A and B are shown apart, each in its own frame.
Chain A
Amino acid sequence: MAAIRRRDLSAREAIDAALSRIAVSNGALNAFTGIFPERARARAVEVDAALSAGRDPGTLAGVPFAAKDLFDVAGVVTRAGAKVTLADPPAVRDADAVAALEAHGAILVGVTNMDEFAYGFVTENEHTGATHNPHDLARIAGGSSGGSAAAVGADLVSLSLGSDTNGSIRVPAAFCGIFGIRPTMETLSTRGAYPFCNSLDTIGPFARTAADLEVAYRALAGDVPESAAIAKPRVARLGGYFATGLRPEAQEAVDIVASALGAHSVVELAGARLAREAAFIITACEAGELHAPRLRTQAADYDVATRDRLLAGALVPARWYIRAQRFRSVFYAEIQALFADWDVLLAPATAYHATPIGAKTIVIDGIESDIRPNVGVFTQPITLAGTPVVTVPIVKRDALPVGVQLIGRAGSEAMLLALARELEASGTVGAGKVPVLV
């Protein structure tokens, strides 16, 4: 990332190279749904001019990035992976997150594929097609920010933006073998990001290295204390709910990280199952309410994978929703109690590695379960607590990537990012080599 600031490479060269990589590989990946070469090249000229004049364009000078196609881009219709939005007016200004990265010198090159309205974990979209996993093109990239994760996983861009309501950054980061962060609720501005479920929505970056993730996070968050790292954080792994129904690769990933961190204690979040169920209800209800006006007249134009859940959500009795929201406070108290004794909790990001595109079910321990609603089974409970999570990748040779969640107390992003850096420096986690697309 520093090459442009050092003037080893011009921003224009970096952008042209990124656009060339996208032109070569996007046909196989279907990561990008929109590319903005003119905007990107114009911005690159500005960055190069600033550097020539001796000004510092920022920590992300000339770094190409992508944004999930739910972030507003001035002059472009924010599609959010849908058909019903195609006739919407173009955005009048960039989303806050896009503007924040560009204020630090980064350059937006395009927008990326996603599950319709972010309601899914697979990025198999009826309107825009499936995004393919850069580690195995026959498999899903995860979702709902699948295009953003695949674009970084394949090194088409160095950074990307996603959103995470129930795991939509953490799941695709794990499947694509990269780093991602879901920040503490309300930490990063969601203004200009198409809403999904307002009381659970967050946005955050993806990167191939922990250091790049931290630079991007700091650009988005503004002032983050530099000295937040804890010399020796107290780390425990979550058992019970989070140790049940995993395939071996997911279990082994947690074992690897736990071993590296000396995390020998196992603790329980007794309310995890109910937390997931409450998040499911809240999501359906808020998203259903949001889409009810369009569902009255345009239901047939929704992705079938999304439509029926939105329709059901629009009909949920208020009492169920309110009770789920009340439980949220109960669950937050429970996880806070754990943070009295521990700084970081470990959990698998997913129960398995990326599944084949089009697969409907998976068998674990002899039990067949649906993939679409269950990919986020380990991310969704943490969503309810609103605390930050950094997903770190385990990428082994000849194996598909998996991810581990580093879960911290509210406001502990700097500590989690520092821990991710340490794990990467020790070789415990990391994106590894850029995969050859096959």
Chain B
Amino acid sequence: MDNKEADLATYVDAAAAMAGIQLDPERRAAVITVMTRIAAFAADLDELTIPLEVEVAGRFIP
């Protein structure tokens, strides 16, 4: 486990505790796997420059 994965695992443990969600070891590993994928997607979106004036879509009506 590299530092980034370890950070994510630490985050999952802390966030689950804050949310009142108990994760047994097997479930914890699966959740970290999903969260790793989500984190990679979030990192991709982070690389994009979004103008400040672009607001959250919220309730989206095209």
Contact = CB atoms under 8 A, between A and B. Distances in A.
Partners in one complex: yes
Which of B16, B37, B42, B54 has the most chain A CB atoms inside 10 A of its CB? Answer: B42
A410 B62 CA distance: 6
A320 B21 contact: no
14 contacts: A186-B60, A277-B41, A277-B42, A278-B45, A292-B21, A299-B27, A309-B34, A311-B27, A325-B58, A326-B55, A326-B56, A327-B48, A329-B55, A332-B60
Interface residues of A, number: 41
A184 B62 contact: yes
A267 B57 CA distance: 25
Contacts, number: 116
Contact of A315 (B12, B33, B62): B12
B30 A315 contact: no
A326 B27 CA distance: 31
A277 B23 contact: no
A28 interface: no
A295 B39 CA distance: 21
A320 B45 CA distance: 8
B15 interface: yes
B60 A328 contact: yes
Interface of B: 11-12, 15-16, 19-23, 27, 30-31, 33-35, 37-39, 41-42, 44-46, 48, 50, 54-62
A45 to B, nearest CB: 41
Given A292-B21, A311-B27, A199 B58 contact: yes
A277 B21 contact: no
Contact of B34 (A185, A186, A278, A284): A284
Interface of A: 184-186, 199, 273-274, 277-278, 280-281, 284, 292, 295-296, 299, 307-309, 311-317, 320, 322-330, 332, 373, 385-387, 410
Contact of B50 (A309, A330, A386): A330
DSSP majority for the A interface?
helix
Given A292-B21, A312-B38, A313-B38, 13 more contacts: A186-B61, A274-B45, A278-B41, A281-B42, A308-B27, A308-B30, A312-B31, A320-B38, A320-B39, A322-B56, A325-B56, A326-B50, A373-B37
Contacts of B23: 311
A70 to B, nearest CB: 20
Contacts of A326: 50, 54-57
Contact of A185 (B16, B21, B27, B62): B62
B60 A185 contact: yes
